[in-house]
Structure 1
Amino acid sequence: MTTKTQQQITPELRRWIVEQAQAGHSAESVLQSMLASGWQEEVAIEAMETSLRSHLEAKAVAEGLPPSVPVPDPRLDDSPLYVDGGDRRVHILQNMYNPRVVVFGNLLSDQECDELIALAKPRLARSLTVATKTGGEEINDDRTSSGMFFQRGENDIVRRIEARIARLVNWPEENGEGLQVLHYRPGAEYKPHYDYFDPKEPGTPTILKRGGQRVATLVMYLGEPEKGGGTTFPDVHLEVFPKRGHGVFFSYERPHPSTRTLHGGAPVLAGEKWIATKWLRERRFE
């Protein structure tokens, strides 16, 4: 990388940054040392981010973790209150980096929520989960909702929402699975789980042929229960309440618990919950 003053991030600089981190020096102290030595702040920050990211990735793989991959990610570096969804201004209500969780407000209109529910109702059936032993699908006692899938681009409303999602999280539409609508009655839940496919399971290679790993999830709330039904992240003690029209996005750069993306749908205690879920893959989903 070269700046206007031709400062370059050299291999020697990268090694020095890693050595400082290994010695226990804080990021702020390393940055101040670089600035005192004449490095431009923009270059110094980029050098630290890329050097430490590469170091941590190499260390993770050496310790047996799966390699990380690029993931969808909303552009929130300047802490915006709103982002452009193309046809809709979407609110940013919460932003977390570890795990990567973003809560969107005003993601769907009331009319869109109602239309998705109406289109889904005649096609609902007991929800299935991916059978990682075989690569197929199966009933799982941990998931007690009913649901259905739209084909990608199946109708006008699905196409509109898929385009909005792609713009918000900077990921190609064709890398998305079909939009799933789920209905939870009182007592229904989805116990904590991961959305990626476990590389150790025998059915995973078959699943990955359709578009690679899942790398992100977006849960959109179509209808509010009176009580319960939140999306929980047990590893970080976070619960996102199911507010109609809002959505919670989270990504996972490697299929491993280190992403801290264990999550679940808490039991509905009163009323009914409706959600739409969009899973995003590494590549085009076939």
Structure 2
Amino acid sequence: MDPRLFLVISLCFLAQFSHGKESLLKMTTGRSTAPFDPTRVTQISWSPRAFLYRGFLTDEECDHFITLAKDKLEKSMVADNDSGKSIASEVRTSSGMFLQKGQDAIIAGVEEKIAAWTFLPVENGESMQILHYENGQKYEPHFDFFHDKANQQLGGHRVATVLMYLSDVAKGGETVFPHSEFKDKQQKGGDLSDCAKQGYSVKPRKGDALLFFSLHPDASTDETSLHGSCPVIEGEKWSATKWIHVRSFDSPVRSTSECIDEDPNCASWALRGECEKNPVYMVGNKDDVGYCRKSCKVCSS
């Protein structure tokens, strides 16, 4: 299925339950201790598209993630915009580590619940990253989509991010969106740090999860998805991040030289005009190759 279709479905699904309406739909998600409940989801912004899920994780899940990570933390890195390589930078001063996908029953259950919430497959997600911010540590505003082609080869762009708060923070540590449409409409109370007042902000609360999209439904990058982690002023901040791509992150890097169809339905889709109607998926663009290049007859001789 076109990965953009997953995004459209998820947006429709989230919009349906974004105002706290009662619903009979509470999905059991395998090994997760807290079933997926869409009535806990609130839409906080359409530009960028962002949603807050109160109580997404249980206290036991939060504590389990911290226990797995606290003895394995290393200085956080950032991706170089040109080479795509991980480099150290004062833009990001936290420490962190990656869990293995499906490492244990609790992690696997949370990954399944994320897939149920976002309508994006488990295999499209990266391994979960656990982050720890001490006093004064922060992550300057940045995008989660990639600027370099190297990182886009495996899984394509990051389409969505699920940020889970594993601890309360006495002061600071907010997630801030400097370009949000609501940055000037949010009440800026005394409980927010000066950094958080520079945009629309979400205060960390243990167990809550924030979902936001880095791409528009047409797969173009969303400049309003710029976001950062404000400096911790009092206490410490623990969080878990799940980045989700437009296609499988577990698959090998796709070849740009072979003229092939990567889906058995390509020929019939091409006959129905999908090469023109859905060119990003079928044909590709300057950043990525399409899945039906042979049927769309776009390969060079």
TM over 0.5: yes
Task: Give the C-alpha shift of residue 70 in structure 1.
Answer: 4.9
- CA–CA distance in 1 between the matches of 2:27 and 2:175? 23
Counterpart AA for 1:111? E
Judged with a 3 Å threshold, the aligned counterparts in structure 2 of structure 1 residues 135 and 89 are, in CA distance, closer, same or farther, namely: closer
Task: Give the C-alpha shift of residue 248 in structure 1.
Answer: 0.7
Residue 225 of structure 2 corresponds to residue 261 of structure 1: yes
Q: What TM-score does the superposition give when structure 1 sets the normalisation length?
A: 0.70
Query: Hey, what does 2:162 align to over in structure 1?
Result: 218
Moved more, 151-160 or 166-175: 151-160
Query: Hey, what does 1:102 align to over in structure 2?
Result: 51
Secondary structure of 2:101's aligned partner = coil
- CA–CA distance in 2 between the matches of 1:263 and 1:173? 24
Secondary structure of 2:91's aligned partner = coil
- CA–CA distance in 1 between the matches of 2:165 and 2:75? 19
- CA–CA distance in 2 between the matches of 1:184 and 1:275? 9
Query: Hey, what does 1:250 align to over in structure 2?
Result: 212
Residue 238 of structure 2 corresponds to residue 274 of structure 1: yes
Task: Give the C-alpha shift of residue 129 in structure 1.
Answer: 1.2
Match of 1:84 among 26, 30, 47: 26
> Residues 188-227 of structure 1: matches in 2 within 5 Å?
188-198=137-147, 204-227=148-171
Match of 2:67 among 95, 108, 118: 118
Task: Give the C-alpha shift of residue 84 in structure 1.
Answer: 3.3
Task: Give the C-alpha shift of residue 249 in structure 1.
Answer: 0.5
On the 8 A contact 2:145/2:221 being kept in 1, the answer is no
Judged with a 3 Å threshold, the aligned counterparts in structure 2 of structure 1 residues 71 and 135 are, in CA distance, closer, same or farther, namely: farther
Counterpart AA for 1:280? I
Q: Could you report, residue by residue, the CA deviation over 1:123-144 in whole angstroms, capped at 9, with x for unpaired residues?
A: 1000011223222211111101
Task: Give the C-alpha shift of residue 218 in structure 1.
Answer: 0.8
On the 8 A contact 1:92/1:105 being kept in 2, the answer is yes
Query: Hey, what does 1:18 align to over in structure 2?
Result: none
Residue 248 of structure 2 corresponds to residue 284 of structure 1: yes
Q: Could you report, residue by residue, the CA deviation over 1:82-134 in whole angstroms, capped at 9, with x for unpaired residues?
A: 66353414411334222100001110000000000000111100001122322
Counterpart AA for 1:86? T
CA RMSD, 1 decimal? 2.0
Q: What TM-score does the superposition give when structure 2 sets the normalisation length?
A: 0.67
Query: Hey, what does 2:202 align to over in structure 1?
Result: 240
Moved more, 81-90 or 177-186: 81-90
Give the helix-richer structure, 1 or 2: 1
Larger Cα-atom Rg: 1
Residue 130 of structure 2 corresponds to residue 177 of structure 1: no
On the 8 A contact 2:94/2:137 being kept in 1, the answer is yes
